[in-house]
Chains A and B, each alone.
Chain A
Amino acid sequence: MPAVSKGDGMRGLAVFISDIRNCKSKEAEIKRINKELANIRSKFKGDKALDGYSKKKYVCKLLFIFLLGHDIDFGHMEAVNLLSSNKYTEKQIGYLFISVLVNSNSELIRLINNAIKNDLSSRNPTFMCLALHCIANVGSREMAEAFASEIPRILVAGDTMDSVKQSAALCLLRLYKTSPDLVLMGEWTSRVVHLLNDQHMGVVTAAISLITCLSQKNPDEFKTCVSLAVSRLSRIVSSASTDLQDYTYYFVPAPWLSCKLLRLLQCYPPPEDGAVKGRLVECLETILNKAQEPPKSKKVQHSNAKNAILFEAISLIIHYDSEPNLLVRACNQLGQFLQHRETNLRYLALESMCTLASSEFSHEAVKTHIETVINALKTERDVSVRQRAADLLYAMCDRSNAKQIVAEMLSYLETADYSIREEMVLKVAILAEKYAIDYSWYVDTILNLIRIAGDYVSEEVWYRVIQIVINRDDVQGYAAKTVFEALQAPACHENMVKVGGYILGEFGNLIAGDPRSSPLVQFNLLHSKFHLCSVPTRALLLSAYIKFINLFPETKATIQEVLRCDSQIRNSDVELQQRAVEYLKLSSIASTDVLATVLEEMPPFPERESSILAKLKKKKGPGAVSVTELEDSKREGGELNGGGDRGPDTAAMAASNTSTPSPSADLLGIRSAAPVGAAPSSAGSLLVDVFSEAGPTAPSAAVNDDGFLRDLEQPTETSDSLLVEGSGDLDSAPPSEDPAPPLSEADELLNKFVCKNNGVLFENQLLQIGIKSEYRQNLGRMYLFYGNKTSVQFASFTTTVSCPGELQSQLNVQTKPVEPLVEGGAQIQQVLNIECLSDFSEAPLLNIKFRYGGALQNLTLKLPVTINKFFQPTEMSSHDFFQRWKQLSQPQQEAQKIFKANHSMDTEVLKAKLLGLGTALLDNVDPNPENYVCAGVIQTKSQQVGCLLRLEPNAQAQMYRLTLRCSKDSVSRRLCELLAQQF
């Protein structure tokens, strides 16, 4: 046991920790811990009151056990007791325990808040800091409610100690991040901004984090901070390396504060005031100059701190994107770092240069470093650095260097790490398309891509090459020749077979003149790959064969022979069998004219944004592909080649669907666009439309809409207690009191109604609320029955239905006010009319207020209006079901949950629930009779959303797997959430 260094004395704790360390096995450790837990429990329960010291020691032991990864379910009360100790160390341990282990036990929170309140008003700076730390560590909404108005006062008060100010600033920041609606800066704004001028560097350092966050959200209100930040920065940058004493770090003056100031400035455009701007440019130049000076210390801390400021300055220069001189200097500086011996600097230089490459002022300057970057891609030993190099090559690529960059990326792919291959493939495919001048190069590149990294070539990539070949007749002959050669390889990737099959099926005639690639040779080559391929590829090959019959009548007999053989015409796969049967029939009964019409060459694809780009964006997030790049690609895409998002095979089938009864008998799945000219007349095709509405290009706009706005519109919580017998001061509360927050069990109550429409929604000693509801299409009507269970009259009875946040635009709920008096024992009724405008996830809130014996009752429930209420059941066959299932194959369209059964797993109960859900329960669809599948269409005013559901019970494990696929991802997620509570 090491000597405990300072001031400490909890030997019992040290003994316990050593014991744990001496345990030879996990079992021994658990045994020792259980013994200790039993000991502590008995001490806490014992008759002898524990002194503060022992309490502290035991609480500390519990904390240690928790941090080892074990659950702790007691001791919270003792920790809370420690908070009110007047001994600093006991208080400190109490707060630490609360910070690490707090749970949402509301009883406890109230006690904790009380202790915090006492400490905050104690005027003892160390106690105040402890309390502020605790608030910042827990940061819960209850705490925000209790203290959000108090802390700004502490922060700006003239007599607050510096250390307390620092804690208060960061505490407020934490509360602002968790509950922005509760932190109102209003009157404090200017005094908070002026903390940038504070004498004490520590106060400025803490305050600037708060100011930056507030500026991001309210730039106008805080814009006076710009000039203050510039002057503060200027003073730091021009100070000598020792001026700032303790705030100088390895000869760098105030590096943390400098970085923060530069970051704050990035919330704003360049200063308009000429003098301020001049001063700032001077600062930035000084920072760039200092990078060239010899280091004042050999320590890495010195150069790290210095370069941290430099990189932040460069970020600001890039953010302004208006000073060509500074941009070029920044680029040169980063160029030096590219060859630095520190890996960290090389990494950051590559990353930072990526953003520089998108600025028109510095794009050319970035390009001069191409050789260094290529070298980095080849020689860096760390994959994360190589990844950066690949990103930069992608960013600096333009028409002048595309061939070189694509070639380098291709050769890197041969050895690239698995983790980044898919992304690399997408990047190569995009660059090859975007900068293609001659299309033979493009075709070569993509085929190389398939050869080198076939497994990572996604559907989008090979669809795209086919779209381009179809739309460009000058490249078709070359493409046919090239795929023919590529297929000669004894082992070629399945994606190559797909591209080859498709292209030869369309354009094989262009190379058929050469005896080495005569029709029969072509067919035999394709067919030699057939048996090694998966079902979708075989299906595609069968389509290629029927196209051959049309292109080359001489192959008809051979191909019919193939189609006729048992392995095709009796294939166990329905899709293959159907194709074989139909193609065989088509080729034998249709006249050559009919055949030629049905199997005509594919029409050009409509021009659209490249689906590959969309995929990359999805992979890397919206920030990864800059706007200019998108516009660029659209422009160039338009000029060079069109392309649709749908798979070529789909189109092939759409063209030849005279022979196929189902409108989209396609295993590869419709990607996004509905088949050309599909008229939504019959029920079947309506469903097709619905299912194909959301595609990979649908932007997830909701992502940016973080909780911030929604939080603002949530009702403010003012009263902590609901439905408790009114205390004296409640009597005088005005009836216009704000609605209470939803009951803690509101979600539970809501869940009870997901699969049923009628029942008792809520009941307590005073009030019962019953519900009856019915839905049709996107409309619903709900009857609410409020029953007074007492013998006393309810006065001022009001009910309000509200749609919080974005629900307002998704759901329309109308109702009339109810009678303000409810006699004892009486029941009143209220009717709600509901219209679903678009899909939604939240529930409308029902607030009820009334006076009972003088006390105001205020409660809020969630109305059980859930998205599934607008379901229309859809019957379909097993075949149709799985076909649609496959069409909804994008990862975000699916939501899945595996969970433990909470209720009976009885078949009849399950069936009743699934029917109650509103979907059609489909029999004989799933090969496993234990499973349940359902289908339905959600009707909203703006669109219809097709939904498929599969529930797989596992009776042995008492578990379920629930899978949802919907044409809209938000619906999949919401339904999955709702349903996971039901079984």
Chain B
Amino acid sequence: MMRFMLLFSRQGKLRLQKWYTATAERDKKKMVRELMQIVLARKPKMCSFLEWRDLKIVYKRYASLYFCCAIEEQDNELITLEIIHRFVELLDKYFGSVCELDIIFNFEKAYFILDEFLMGGEIQDTSKKSVLKAIEQADLLQEEDEPPRSVLEEMGLA
């Protein structure tokens, strides 16, 4: 089972974090800091796996973003690498050639997509179609719900 997934930038900014076991906020911060330091220090051609505490870390860099997963002893490293890739594909398909900014500005969408794909640290569905269908359905619902608003109204000035 996956214990957590982190997305962070080359500058060490955390962009997304998903924890699949209950962890205290303080421990989370400590773990994130420690892992970022380890992963960012590694050179490009190095192996994508490393042992860390009692976990296995699987990470991969896509453009400016690192995707980093912690899995348990008996989990399969290579298939985890492809979990990361499939997640990137899902983001890409949804946002249309995704970049770091999409994830910053639409972080809630990124969480929704991840939730449709993984649940409780295990794969829920591997089909791109099924996952995106769920998300797009939600968008349709939203569009029906909300008439477009003016910028002023948005900012609370109207």
A: residues with CB less than 8 A from B are 1-2, 4-12, 14-15, 17, 21, 53, 60, 63-64, 67, 69, 87-89, 92-93, 96, 100, 126, 129, 133, 136-137, 139-140, 163, 166-167, 170-171, 173-174, 177-178, 201-202, 205-206, 209, 246-247, 249, 254-257, 259-260, 263, 266, 301, 304-305, 307-308, 311-312, 343-344, 346-348, 381-382, 384-385, 387, 621, 623
In this complex, the interface size class of chain B, counting residues with CB under 8 Å from chain A, is 35 or more
Q: How far is the CA of A804 from the CA of B104 in the complex (A)?
A: 48
What chain B residues lie within 8 Å of A305 (beta carbons)? Answer: 78-79, 82
Q: How far is the CA of A173 from the CA of B119 in the complex (A)?
A: 10
Contact pick for A96, options B42, B108, B154, CB 8 Å: B108
Closest to A306 in B: B78
B104 touches A17 (CB 8 A): yes
A256 touches B79 (CB 8 A): yes
Q: How far is the CA of A4 from the CA of B119 in the complex (A)?
A: 26
B10, CB-defined interface residue at 8 Å: no
Q: How far is the CA of A257 from the CA of B101 in the complex (A)?
A: 33
What chain B residues lie within 8 Å of A166 (beta carbons)? Answer: 119, 124-125
Q: How far is the CA of A765 from the CA of B51 in the complex (A)?
A: 55
What chain A residues lie within 8 Å of B14 (beta carbons)? Answer: 67, 69
B50 touches A92 (CB 8 A): no
Known: A9-B148, A209-B122, A209-B123. A96 touches B111 (CB 8 A): yes
B138 touches A170 (CB 8 A): no
B45 touches A206 (CB 8 A): no
B138 CB to nearest A CB, Å: 6
B107, CB-defined interface residue at 8 Å: yes
A206 touches B123 (CB 8 A): yes
B37, CB-defined interface residue at 8 Å: no
B156 touches A12 (CB 8 A): yes
Specify the main secondary structure of chain A where it touches its partner: helix
A170 touches B104 (CB 8 A): no
A69 touches B120 (CB 8 A): no
What chain A residues lie within 8 Å of B81 (beta carbons)? Answer: 304, 344
A173 touches B76 (CB 8 A): no
Mark B56-80 against chain A: 1 for CB-CB distance below 8 A, else 0: 0000000000000000011011110
Known: A5-B95, A9-B148. A311 touches B76 (CB 8 A): yes
Contact pick for B130, options A202, A304, A343, CB 8 Å: A202
Q: How far is the CA of A246 from the CA of B94 in the complex (A)?
A: 17
Q: How far is the CA of A631 from the CA of B73 in the complex (A)?
A: 25
A109 CB to nearest B CB, Å: 14
Closest to A254 in B: B126
B76 touches A1 (CB 8 A): no
A256 touches B123 (CB 8 A): yes
Q: Which of B1-49 contact A (CB under 8 A)?
A: 1, 14, 17, 22, 29, 42-43, 45-49
Closest to A66 in B: B25
Question: Known pairs A17-B104, A304-B85. 12 more at Cβ < 8 A?
Answer: A2-B102, A8-B139, A15-B155, A92-B138, A173-B122, A247-B126, A255-B79, A256-B83, A266-B74, A304-B82, A312-B76, A384-B46
What chain A residues lie within 8 Å of B149 (beta carbons)? Answer: 9, 11
Shortest beta-carbon contacts, A-B, top 3: A7-B139, A308-B78, A174-B120
Known: A67-B107, A136-B119. A206 touches B124 (CB 8 A): yes
B155 CB to nearest A CB, Å: 6
A5 touches B96 (CB 8 A): yes
B112 touches A96 (CB 8 A): yes
Closest to A133 in B: B115
Closest to B104 in A: A17
A249 touches B86 (CB 8 A): yes
Closest to A175 in B: B120
Closest to A8 in B: B106
Mark B140-153 against chain A: 1 for CB-CB distance below 8 A, else 0: 11110110110100
A126 touches B137 (CB 8 A): yes
B77 touches A344 (CB 8 A): yes
Known: A344-B78, A344-B81, A384-B51. A11 touches B108 (CB 8 A): no
A14 touches B48 (CB 8 A): no
What chain B residues lie within 8 Å of A174 (beta carbons)? Answer: 119-120
What chain A residues lie within 8 Å of B140 (beta carbons)? Answer: 7
Q: How far is the CA of A67 from the CA of B108 in the complex (A)?
A: 11
Known: A12-B155, A311-B76, A343-B47. A60 touches B108 (CB 8 A): yes
Contact pick for A344, options B49, B51, B106, B145, CB 8 Å: B49
Q: How far is the CA of A12 from the CA of B106 in the complex (A)?
A: 12
Closest to B134 in A: A163
B47 touches A384 (CB 8 A): yes
What chain A residues lie within 8 Å of B96 (beta carbons)? Answer: 5
A12 touches B105 (CB 8 A): no
Known: A11-B151, A202-B124. A4 touches B17 (CB 8 A): no
Contacts A/B (CB < 8 Å), 20 sampled:
A6-B95, A6-B139, A7-B140, A92-B138, A133-B119, A139-B120, A166-B124, A205-B126, A209-B123, A246-B129, A247-B127, A259-B76, A263-B74, A263-B76, A305-B78, A305-B79, A307-B78, A308-B78, A343-B47, A382-B46
Q: How far is the CA of A662 from the CA of B122 in the complex (A)?
A: 60
Q: How far is the CA of A256 from the CA of B81 in the complex (A)?
A: 11
A170 touches B47 (CB 8 A): no
Q: How far is the CA of A260 from the CA of B76 in the complex (A)?
A: 9
What chain B residues lie within 8 Å of A4 (beta carbons)? Answer: 105-106
Q: How far is the CA of A100 from the CA of B4 in the complex (A)?
A: 13
B47 touches A202 (CB 8 A): no
B28 CB to nearest A CB, Å: 10
A88 touches B141 (CB 8 A): yes
Q: How far is the CA of A173 from the CA of B54 in the complex (A)?
A: 22
Q: How far is the CA of A257 from the CA of B85 in the complex (A)?
A: 16
Q: How far is the CA of A343 from the CA of B82 in the complex (A)?
A: 16
What chain B residues lie within 8 Å of A137 (beta carbons)? Answer: 115, 120
B45 touches A381 (CB 8 A): yes
B107 touches A308 (CB 8 A): no
A624 CB to nearest B CB, Å: 12
Contact pick for B138, options A126, A140, A201, CB 8 Å: A126
Known: A126-B137, A305-B82. A205 touches B125 (CB 8 A): yes
What chain A residues lie within 8 Å of B99 (beta carbons)? Answer: 2
Closest to B99 in A: A2
Contact pick for A5, options B102, B115, B125, B126, CB 8 Å: B102
Q: How far is the CA of A249 from the CA of B82 in the complex (A)?
A: 9
What chain A residues lie within 8 Å of B83 (beta carbons)? Answer: 256
Q: How far is the CA of A249 from the CA of B106 in the complex (A)?
A: 27
Known: A69-B29, A139-B22, A249-B126. A21 touches B120 (CB 8 A): no
What chain A residues lie within 8 Å of B17 (beta carbons)? Answer: 67
What chain B residues lie within 8 Å of A133 (beta carbons)? Answer: 115, 119
What chain A residues lie within 8 Å of B124 (beta carbons)? Answer: 166-167, 170, 202, 205-206
A967 CB to nearest B CB, Å: 27
B105 touches A2 (CB 8 A): yes
A21 touches B104 (CB 8 A): yes
A801 CB to nearest B CB, Å: 31
A170 touches B142 (CB 8 A): no
Known: A139-B120, A163-B130, A343-B46. A63 touches B108 (CB 8 A): yes
